[in-house]
Amino acid sequence: MKGYMAGMKILDSLDNGLPFLKMHGLGNDFVILDARKADVPMTAAMAQAIGHRYFGVGFDQLVVLADCDDADVDITFWNTDGSTAGACGNATRCVARLILDETGKTDLTLRTGRGLLSVTEAGGGLVSVNMGQPQLDWQDVPLAREVDLVELPIEGAPGAAGMGNPHCVFVVEDVESLDLHKLGPIYEHHELYPERTNVEFLQIIDRNTMRMRVWERGGLPTLACGSGACASAVVAHRKGLTERNVTIKLDGGDLQIDWRDDGVWMTGPTQLVFSGVLSTDFLDKIK
């Protein structure tokens, strides 16, 4: 420990602590741990403890980076309830920004639970990620049984799509008036979704623009959800409401989504906020 904190005994536990980065993509915020050089064992209980906004650092998702043979980096996503997710679009962009800067490359391949994702530097501080083709078979979302994915047998006839994680997408008249804390948990735990689901509410502005609010699986509304924006663009297009290329206006800002022949491309900004160190004292207590 250097500088004015040198000699403060309690701060010794930072010297051998665990470094992390705090980033966000449109206010969807992440703690990023780098397990490429040193092992970072993670458990559901540790993720919950680090994610606590008062007793920990706080995040919407915890992201662990690891080495792998077939991509620039392997990424695992944890939710605040200690569950893991196969996809997280905003965190994928944030990690992409780190690796683009670290390597000096303009194109990357990232491994996530969804498989290999292509990334490209989009200029102006933006990053584009190909989130892959949407999963449009009921078993892949997954849903509990075979139903019409464009009009689910749920009041309001939402649509379903998988992006490596499940999504339930409602189209509504007035998205601002919705009480996400009331509605979110009802649909997150709907019996049609055996692995629970992320829940998106869309208001169509025109054929290339939508407003979206989200309740994420894991039990919280977030300011943005990249995979949710991709799933929403897919559902809205399949319902005949929008073109394949849309601007999605989220609470934290705008994402560009383009459903092309090779997959759903998502383009948006990222922000590195700060770096820190989890103290050994804290880590000993949460292990």
Ligand X SMILES: N[C@@H](CCC[C@H](N)C(=O)O)C(=O)O
**Long-range contacts, stretch 80-84, CB < 8 angstroms, 24+ apart:** 80/47, 80/48, 80/51, 80/52, 80/218, 80/219, 80/220, 81/48, 81/218, 81/219, 82/43, 82/44, 82/45, 82/47, 82/48, 83/44, 83/217, 83/218, 84/113
Q: How far is the CB of 225 from ligand X (least distance, A)?
A: 4
89 annotated among ligand-binding-site residues: yes
Q: Is residue 232 at the binding interface for ligand X, with CB under 6 A as the rule? A: no
The question of whether 94 is a catalytic residue gets the answer no
- Residue 217 labelled as part of a binding site: yes
Instruction: Tell me whether residue 230 is one of the annotated catalytic residues.
Output: no
Nearer to ligand X among residue 84 and residue 209 (C-beta): 84
Q: Which of 216, 237, 256, 263 binds ligand X (CB under 6 A)?
A: 216
Sign of the dihedral defined by the CA atoms of residues 140, 141, 142, 146, in that order = negative
Window of 49-57, 87-95, 242-250, 271-279 that interacts with ligand X by CB under 6 A: 87-95
The span of 15-23, 68-76, 144-152, 211-219 binding ligand X (CB under 6 A) equals 211-219
Query: Scanning residues 140 to 179, which ones bind ligand X (CB under 6 A)?
Result: 165
245 annotated ligand-binding residue:
no
Judged by CB under 6 A, the chain residues 48 through 67 that form the site for ligand X are 60-61
Tokens of 169: 């997408």
Helix (H) or strand (E) holding 46: helix 44-51
For residue 222, state whether it binds ligand X (rule: CB under 6 A): yes
Residue 217 touching ligand X (CB under 6 A): yes
Closest approach of Cβ 86 to ligand X, in Å? 7
Decide: 214 and 224 in contact? Cβ < 8 Å.
yes
Single out the catalytic residue among 68, 94, 168, 225.
Answer: 225
Burial class, 257, CB count within 10 angstroms (exposed 0-12 / middle 13-18 / buried 19+):
buried
How far apart CA 89 and CA 17 sit, in angstroms, is 29
Burial of 199 (0-12, 13-18, 19+ CB in 10 A): buried
Using rule CB under 6 A, residue 75 touches ligand X = no
**What amino acid positions are annotated as catalytic residues?**
88, 225
Binding residues for substrate: 28, 61, 79, 89-90, 165, 198, 216-217, 226-227
Interface residues with ligand X (CB under 6 A)?
28, 60-61, 77, 79, 85, 87-90, 165, 198, 216-218, 222, 225-228
